[in-house]
Structure 1
């Protein structure tokens, strides 16, 4: 390294240290100007060195010490954590629009084409409203979901046949991995009608997406120095932008193959399905809705949102539900008795049966209470200085809502750590965020757009697994319910079980 480069590097480090010192001094002064209480932290790094990898439980512990609202300095970034229904009401209801924006992590900005092209990370405005409207009206409306019923049924039948083959061979099944693949196939089929080519080509695309989603979620969940010290973001010290460019290139290649297949079908005079991709391509040709442009980049960003956001959340929830029921066989027997009464063993459960499976839905609600898919939700960010519970909240603060802690609060829930589906019997609580002590998908205008699809997928998956098979752990394997924190909550140890067919005839397991 030459002298000039060495001097420049030293000057950069000195400037950063000075800036950090000023930030820390401002933070100390801020304590006196009404910020919520919280750990003081160290100069420059704040509380970074004391963070526990399981952030949801770490934040719950701090809330027990400092109260349901506290502030925490993570590097040069200020975070505020809320852990009570009353505070959730202030953030997501009373001041919904003020808190509706996102503090976009560097990795999310990198992987979603800038953080302003998709639904999850986009600030509220004309573009976000257009994207959400397209998603909800075209794909996730009751009409849209019903139109794709046949595609979902096809994928579930294929899964049923695969599990039956494993059962006949005495092979164990990793529940989460199998449900991930099923969910992925359903989502991709819903988005572009499964019109990817041959069955083998569709399988290849599914496997490619699974690997891609795994790498993307891992990158999104990893600590990134650029988020703690935004002044360092241009240097991309951890190579996040370089990695995301490679991941996006792989996604673009898959997407390009699907588009090319669609174009070849049209040019050959074949009939193309009226699916979500077709609706988006039509809007792209029209240029938007008159209030905001709609480009090919928006299409790719939305597809990435749906694939990344809809697969692990759904499959992990089904895995947690199965694990909890295998721990408590009384609950499993009760859910299966309901299935036998509604469906029997001489036919296969269908989506049309789901409204009659009341106890099954209680099991799902209890699973998401105890193991919310996104335990801290997607952080909110106030667009202007405001107050929360009498405390000052500066514009740009990252506001975490600890849904995991709220739904385990002993002042709200009796025996909060116990898995008791019956607690929802007679209680008209759903996933729409109306009851602020139960917010597995959030609440307000930024509530998850995919709830109708997720609810249908989770219930259908769980019903199929319970109705068609008996399940046992492998010999000498114990059931482990330890959580692994991440952007999506996972089981630390995958649930691996052995299926045994229980339907009356083997032909019921046919993929057709």
Structure 2
């Protein structure tokens, strides 16, 4: 930044300060524009610097603003208008009753467009033919019941490796490192689903690292709201391009190896690491993408294939691993709940000593396991917001207010799960509320019948892999509790403080000591 740039910014700041003093006497947003109310803003930058100067995660800023401005309010963030919605009624009205109207996506930043290859993903595509084609293919190839059953051997292989990894960590470190172990296992499952290969552990770790960096790189930055500042942040786009190159270098060998294998089932391509193709041609997600020609897009290139497979692994890894870490935290802190869950797992799937595997049918018949997972997702949703929405026509209405087509509609869904008018003592972790007769036992987590919690979104843009993600969490948690008793690591009391790392995670990752369950005690009441 040279002297003239600095002088311009200082002058702008002084002008903004003078204007701010004038604005502060006004309540709410701009009168007469029809938008929901909101805090007064500075000229040009709106509320942007007010939010930035808070120096805390956006979700906590929104929580305070909600208390002042109500369940729907407006933030003017530079050149972008954000409409924040937080009540169950308004969320259900927008995403379910008016689903098609609120099902699109707002404009993306250059960085996001770089990593989505111009919005060519299920999550980012505007509501229309491209989104329908990508989503239809995703559902058919990954989450249809037949596909989920066919991936059973992948789950068995990965969970066996997961349990062995936990034992090794306990032996070597004196504790299991929960988040890291769970991320590696879920990512291994999803990589095998995507590429039909058992990807070696070191390469899975590399994939994890790259995709985590991509997620953090694509979180909103200052130039996304004020493009005039882009020249001052050239380094960010340069870093994004370098990371995109890393992502391609990491995943293109898998795409190319699979393409060669599909062309000749006996052929293996050479890579700089050993990889075993284990799924026949047509059984991997990427196989379905080789010939896909979405409307308006044409035949997908290698960059699109990398991007779509990255989406599967990114979306499923963090959310599932985060849910498992929070669930285990509460089971460590509540030994009675842990023993009740262990008793249910043993009663339904048999004791560890018998060596039988825990199946999908078993976990579907474990109400307390399901209650533990639901209560964990209610108490610790992976994200406090769903992905940004936008309306699909010039003007829309919500709660009696005007919603313009160029606005980003942000649904603050975490508030619904902690609303004291909906949940008794919402800050408490209490799985029993989801058992039959409890206040939440008939809660629809898809939000179709009404919104009481929505960890996967709702309506047209609900996460299409929600059932698969829940299956992974149920199976892994049931296996971990049947195999081990979980206790605090020596000298390391678990800390439930939250922080933001794309998902809402534990500030201090959970380290827990695991004790082999040598004798299966089934006397605890289920």
| Map of 1:208 onto structure 2 | 206
In the TM superposition, 1:61-210 aligns within 5 A as 61-106=64-109, 109-169=112-172, 171-194=174-197, 196=199, 202-210=200-208
Task: Summarize deviations over 1:69-100 as a string: whole Å, max 9, x none.
Answer: 11122223221111111100221022222221
| Map of 2:417 onto structure 1 | 407
- 1:433 aligns with one of 433, 437, 447: 447
Task: Summarize deviations over 1:198-235 as a string: whole Å, max 9, x none.
Answer: xxxx22220111111221222233x51122213445x3
| Residue aligned with 1:92, SS | helix
Distance in 1 separating the partners of 2:405 and 2:265:
55
| Map of 2:282 onto structure 1 | 274
Distance in 1 separating the partners of 2:456 and 2:417:
12
- What RMSD in Å do the two structures reach over aligned CA positions? 3.1
Task: Summarize deviations over 1:127-147 as a string: whole Å, max 9, x none.
Answer: 111000110111111111111
| Map of 1:495 onto structure 2 | 510
| Residue aligned with 1:485, SS | strand
- Mean Cα displacement is larger for which, 327-336 or 493-502? 327-336
In the TM superposition, 1:93-492 aligns within 5 A as 93-106=96-109, 109-169=112-172, 171-194=174-197, 196=199, 202-221=200-219, 223-233=220-230, 235=231, 237=233, 239-265=235-261, 266-267=263-264, 269-270=266-267, 272-284=280-292, 288=293, 292-296=297-301, 297-342=303-348, 343-346=350-353, 347-352=355-360, 353-383=362-392, 384-426=394-436, 427-434=441-448, 435-492=450-507
Distance in 2 separating the partners of 1:423 and 1:413:
9
Q: Which runs of 5+ in 1 are unaligned?
A: 197-201, 506-512
Is the 8 Å Cα contact of residues 127 and 293 (structure 1) preserved in structure 2?
no
Distance in 1 separating the partners of 2:118 and 2:31:
31
Is the 8 Å Cα contact of residues 139 and 145 (structure 1) preserved in structure 2?
yes
Structure-2 change in CA distance of 1:238 and 1:424 (3 Å): farther
Structure-2 change in CA distance of 1:422 and 1:115 (3 Å): farther
| Residue aligned with 2:102, SS | coil
Structure-2 change in CA distance of 1:8 and 1:226 (3 Å): closer
- Off by >6 Å, runs of 4+ in structure 1: 5-19
Distance in 2 separating the partners of 1:132 and 1:16:
46
Task: Summarize deviations over 1:162-199 as a string: whole Å, max 9, x none.
Answer: 22233345631110110000000000011112255xxx
Shift of 1:503: 4.7
- Mean Cα displacement is larger for which, 124-133 or 251-260? 251-260
Distance in 2 separating the partners of 1:72 and 1:378:
17
Distance in 2 separating the partners of 1:503 and 1:47:
59
Is the 8 Å Cα contact of residues 110 and 240 (structure 1) preserved in structure 2?
no
- Mean Cα displacement is larger for which, 354-363 or 34-43? 34-43
- Mean Cα displacement is larger for which, 491-500 or 39-48? 39-48
Structure-2 change in CA distance of 1:56 and 1:15 (3 Å): closer
| Map of 1:31 onto structure 2 | 31
| Residue aligned with 1:127, SS | helix
Task: Summarize deviations over 1:275-317 as a string: whole Å, max 9, x none.
Answer: 2345334424xxx156652402332221111111111111011
| Residue aligned with 1:470, SS | strand
| Residue aligned with 1:400, SS | strand
Distance in 2 separating the partners of 1:396 and 1:362:
40
Is the 8 Å Cα contact of residues 471 and 498 (structure 1) preserved in structure 2?
yes
Is the 8 Å Cα contact of residues 108 and 115 (structure 1) preserved in structure 2?
no
What is the total number of aligned residue pairs between the two structures?
A: 490
Is the 8 Å Cα contact of residues 349 and 463 (structure 1) preserved in structure 2?
no
| Map of 2:273 onto structure 1 | none
